[in-house]
Structure 1
Amino acid sequence: MRLGVLIDGEAGDSIEVGNRGFNYGDGAFETVLVQDGRPVWWGEHLARLRRGCEALGLRMPDADLLEYEAEQLCADQARAVLKIVLTRTGHGRGYAPEPGARSQRVLSLHAAPPLLGSDYVEGVTLRWCETRLALQPRLAGFKHLNRLEQVLARDELANTGAFEGLMLDTTGRAVCATAANVFVLAHGRLRTPALRACGIAGICRDWVLTRTDVEIGELLPQDLERADALFLSSSLRGILPVARLGTRRYRPQPLIAGLIAQLWNEVPALAPQA
Structure 2
Amino acid sequence: MRKPYTILVVRTGKEALAFSVWPQVVPLLLLLGALTAGVVFYPQAQRQEHERARTRSLEEQALQLQEHLTSLEAQVQSLRQRAGVAHPKALAKPQASGSSVPSDSAQRLQSAQVRLVALATDFTQQVRPELEKVLAEEAARPWGLPLRKMNRLSSHFGGRRNPLGAGYEEHNGLDLSSALGTPVYATAPGLVVEAGWAAGYGNRVVVNHGYGFYTLYGHLSKIYVQTGRSIARDHLLGAVGSTGRSTGSHLHYTIFHHGQAVNPMAYMPPLPLAE
**TM superposition score category, shorter chain reference:** under 0.3
Greater RCO structure (CA 8 Å; 6+ sep): 1
Q: Name which one, 1 or 2, has greater alpha-carbon Rg.
A: 2
Greater helix share, 1 or 2? 2
